[in-house]
Amino acid sequence: MARGPGFRYSRWDGTQRGFDLDADSLMDEMSDDLLYHGDLNAALRRLMQQGFRDRNGEELMGLREMLERLRERRREELERRDLGGVYDDVAEQLGEVVDMEREGIDRRVDEAGRSGDQRRQELVDDVAELRRRELDELPPDLAGRVQALQNYEFMDDAARQRFEELMDELREQLMQSYFNQMSEGMQNLTPERMAAMKDMMAELNQMLEQREQGEEPDFDGFMERHGEFFPGNPQTLDELLEQMAQSMAQMQQLMNSMSPEQRAQLQALAESLMEDMDLRWQVDQLSRNLQNAFPNLPWQQSQNFSGDEPMGFGEMPGLLDTLGDLDALENLMRSATQPGELAEVDIERARELLGDDAARSLDRLRDLTKMLEEAGLIEQREGRLELTPRAIRAIGNKALSDLYRKLVKDRPGKHQIQRSGVGNEQSYEHKPYEFGDPFHLNVQETVKNAIWRSGAGTPVRLLPEDFEVERTEQTTRSATVLLLDVSLSMPMRDNFLPAKKVAMALHALITSQFPRDYFGLVSFGRVARDVKPELLPEMSWDFEWGTNMQHALLLARKQLSRQTGTKQIIMVTDGEPTAHIENGQALFSYPPSHATIEETLKEVMRCTRDGIRINTFMLDESYYLRSFVEQMMRINRGRAFFTTPDTLGDYVLVDFLDHRRKGRRAS
């Protein structure tokens, strides 16, 4: 028989990986930030910047730390390198060529002397004397020596071949330094390829001039003719020009970093290596055109090379490549506002530049948005990321569980009553039927009683004493409106996040445990606003002064006028009323004006006449607030609590459950 799929378990030895990063833990990680600022996109951006720990306790490096590593890597490169080594390396190789030529001259003279041919010996001696004098008179500067040797007639074939190979290497390295993005296309620069390169640059300059004049260049035809020089296979002219501009800007930065003498030597050396003056002109023209087309690139910047490790000429392309990649990665990280924008990062190159841990963190950071979308927690709406209803429930449940964990286990919290009666909700308990009970028959228990009484067999005969009926809970409906102070003092005193967590927890508690109950929300600062509970996570504070309780109580009363059952207002604030609505305008005064206090207390009286209980949770112990709340309590008979941000949730949840339990006992 075929076996089905199975699982193998082993003892934990500390080396196994536990649960990996998942969407729910990710949402938990940024829930406080999301609640405080009310902006999902900003919360994701801060999460990317700061990094976090996954469920295994593994640190995910944030972009801020990676940027510091990039800066440190750049410092290491600059503090290690000495640009003077570019010329030392070339001079040393030229010295080896000259030494080979001198040895070859001596060898040719010796061979002529041993030949016994007097005429040959005289000719060789004359030529050898001339060549030695030319070698002795080589210019001291590097570019001059290269140019002189290019015009020199070698006597030694091996020395001539080595010099030609050196010139080819230097020419390739120089062109690769100018056009680092095209480095693969700059290899094996034979005279034919040099001519093709000159034609390519001439066409490129022509296309730039056409674009400046408003014409559309033939990019596809250009790539058909010269695509071999562009191994990156750019798809548009803009992409091609940007790659070349970045490479030339890097080379210009390197030249800017040299001393005036070093820069002059490199320019002269470049002229010597590019014997074709038209090619040199095309390169210079291309540089000018690209500087005009991309003025924002760092053409005028320089680097502070301060090391003592000589850098060979052949190392220039590699160094420029490293510095360019460091710059590109830094720019990408700085501009990234969403995880998906990190998809452009070459993870393997990032690993080379920053190490395994940074590459691993980057790889996971760029999948954050995808992970949350696949889990149904966020979605794209009009170009912005928004929370889904599932995410709002998850945040509320987390806030609720965080608060419940703080409550002592034997404190109220079960939302149960001690008596049963006529109602609609099953309590999943049963009892023998008594005269007057609703006949909600429990068939299973009734049949069981009959079998216990008469024994097995059919038919089963029922008697009145066999009947069992379902107990049902007596149900009541409660309507609650939370008034949440969002005036500027709330975040300034660190009260806003705890208060918003309470709002989320109450919303989660009521919608999940008491779905027939009503939960409304009003935010109030200088003015009050009705807030849909599903928009609660995005709610933030007002950037102005004013605590308009009068307007908040008015809006809450209007919401509750459309509801049935017991009604209450829960108000969370850290300040006395300092604003009220008059003639449609918000009037602010601090200290509170007599008119503001009077208008607010009038609204308290209206709530009292409508049977609405007002419970106030004060996050500040000021005399003015305490005095006002005492007046409010005398009118409304509600309750007042002085709390701290740490204990606010305990008080609110327990008071809400107590209020609802009392409502049930009163019904």
Q: Quick count: other Cβ atoms within 10 Å of Cβ 12?
A: 8
The answer on pLDDT for 584 being more than 80 is yes
Residue 72 or 658, more confident: 72
C-beta of residue 499 within 8 angstroms of C-beta of residue 525? no
Grade residue 610 by pLDDT with cuts at 50, 70 and 90. Answer: very high
Sign of the Cα torsion 20, 25, 26, 30 reads negative
User: What whole-number distance in Å separates Cα of residue 507 and Cα of residue 535?
Assistant: 11
| Domains defined along the chain, listed by start | 85-325 (no CATH), 420-473 (no CATH), 478-666 (3.40.50.410)
Cβ–Cβ < 8 Å for 482, 506: yes
The structure tokens listed for 617 are: 């949770």
Q: For residue 559, what pLDDT is reported?
A: 92
| pLDDT (average), residues 45-62 | 74
- 3-state SS, 198-249, equals HHHHHHHHHHHHHHHCCCCCCHHHHHHHHHHHCCCCCCCHHHHHHHHHHHHH
Task: State whether the Cα torsion 569-575-576-579 is positive or negative.
Answer: negative
Closest to 658 measured CA to CA, from 427, 414, 430, 378: 414
Q: Do 52 and 29 form a contact (C-beta atoms < 8 A)?
A: yes
Looking at residue 551, what is its pLDDT?
Answer: 93
pLDDT digits (tens, 9 = 90+) for 93-127: 888 889 998 999 899 888 888 887 888 888 888 88
Contact between residue 526 and residue 544 where contact means Cβ atoms under 8 Å apart: yes
Beta carbons of 353 and 70 less than 8 angstroms apart = yes
Q: CB neighbours (10 Å) of residue 77?
A: 16
pLDDT of residue 417: 38
Given pLDDT bands bounded at 50, 70 and 90, which one contains residue 355?
Answer: confident
pLDDT number for residue 599 = 92
DSSP code for 464 = G
Residue 427 predicted with pLDDT over 60 = no
Q: What is the tens place of the pLDDT at every residue in 454-513?
A: 887 788 888 888 888 876 554 556 788 888 888 888 888 877 777 777 777 777 777 776
Least confident segment among 95-109, 265-279, 282-296, 566-580: 265-279
pLDDT at 18: 39
pLDDT of residue 422: 40
63-77 pLDDT tens trace: 888 888 888 888 887
pLDDT band, very low/low/confident/very high, at 398 (cuts 50, 70, 90):
low
Which pLDDT value is given to residue 419?
A: 38
**pLDDT, mean of residues 554-576:** 87
Mean pLDDT of 540-547: 78
Give CA–CA dist 244/182, Å, rounded.
8
Residue 399's pLDDT band (boundaries 50, 70, 90)?
low
Rounded Cα–Cα distance for residues 114 and 110 (Å): 6
Closest-CA residue to 60 (of 360, 329, 368): 360
Per-residue pLDDT averaged across 623-632, rounded? 81
How does residue 451 score in pLDDT terms, banded at 50, 70 and 90?
A: confident
State percent of the chain over pLDDT 90.
5
593 vs 281, higher pLDDT: 593
**Cβ–Cβ contacts within 10 Å for residue 423, how many?**
15
Token duo for residue 261: 């003498």
pLDDT band at 655 (very low <50, low <70, confident <90, very high): low
**Rounded average pLDDT over 430-457:** 78
Residue 558 has pLDDT above 90, yes or no: yes
CA 156, 160, 166, 167 dihedral sign is: positive
> Between 198 and 87, whose confidence is greater?
198
pLDDT in tens, 323-349: 777 887 888 888 777 777 777 788 888
Question: Mean pLDDT, to the nearest integer, of 247-253?
Answer: 77
pLDDT at 406: 47
- 126-145 pLDDT, tens digit per residue, is 888 998 898 888 888 777 78
The distance between the two most distant Cα atoms of the chain, rounded to a whole number of Å, is 149
End-to-end CA separation in angstroms for the chain: 64
Does residue 605 register a pLDDT over 90? yes
Which pLDDT value is given to residue 424? Answer: 44
CA dist., res. 254 & res. 83, Å (int): 9
Query: Helix, strand or coil for residue 480?
Result: strand
Model pLDDT for residues 523-534, shown as the tens digit of each residue: 888 899 998 877
pLDDT tens-digit series, residues 189-214 = 566 777 777 788 888 888 888 888 88
- Residues 498 and 464: beta-carbon distance below 8 Å: no
| Residue with more model confidence, 246 or 394 | 246
**Closest-CA residue to 573 (of 515, 524, 508):** 524
The DSSP annotation for 148-202 comes to HHHT---S-HHHHHHHHHHHHHHHHHHHHHHTGGGGGGGSS--HHHHHHHHHHHH
pLDDT for the residue 555: 94
pLDDT given for residue 357 in this prediction? 85
pLDDT at 650 over 70: no
Identify which of 182, 193, 197 has the alpha carbon closest to the alpha carbon of residue 320: 182
Q: Specify the range with the lowest mean pLDDT, choosing from 252-256, 453-457, 655-659.
A: 655-659
Q: What is the arithmetic mean of pLDDT over 236-247?
A: 81
Look at phi and psi of residue 384 and say left if phi exceeds 0, alpha if psi is from -120 to 50, else beta: beta
Token pair in block for residue 585 = 């305008």
State the average pLDDT over residues 577-606.
89
Strand partners, 640: 616
| pLDDT score for 476 | 52
Count Cα neighbours of 539 within 13 Å in the Cβ-side half-sphere.
Answer: 27
What string of H, E and C letters represents the secondary structure of 529-592? EECCHHHHHHCCCCCCCCCCHHHHHHHHHHHHHCCCCEEEEEEEECCCCCEEEECCEEEECCCC
Question: Which pair of structure tokens corresponds to residue 667?
Answer: 């019904």
**pLDDT tens, residue by residue, 6-42:** 545 555 455 444 335 677 677 766 666 666 666 677 7
- Region 423-451: what's the mean pLDDT? 71
Q: Which amino acid is at 211?
A: R
Average pLDDT along the chain: 76
Do the Cβ atoms of 313 and 89 come closer than 8 Å?
A: yes
pTM confidence score = 0.53
**Percent helix, percent strand, percent coil in the chain, to nearest 5:** 60, 10, 30
Contact criterion met (CB below 8 Å) for 332 and 344: yes
Contacts of 127 (CB under 8 A, 6+ apart): 155
Higher pLDDT, 409 or 167: 167
Six-digit token string for 515: 């779905």
What the block records as the tokens of 387 is 């929370």
Mean pLDDT calculated for residue range 282-291? 80
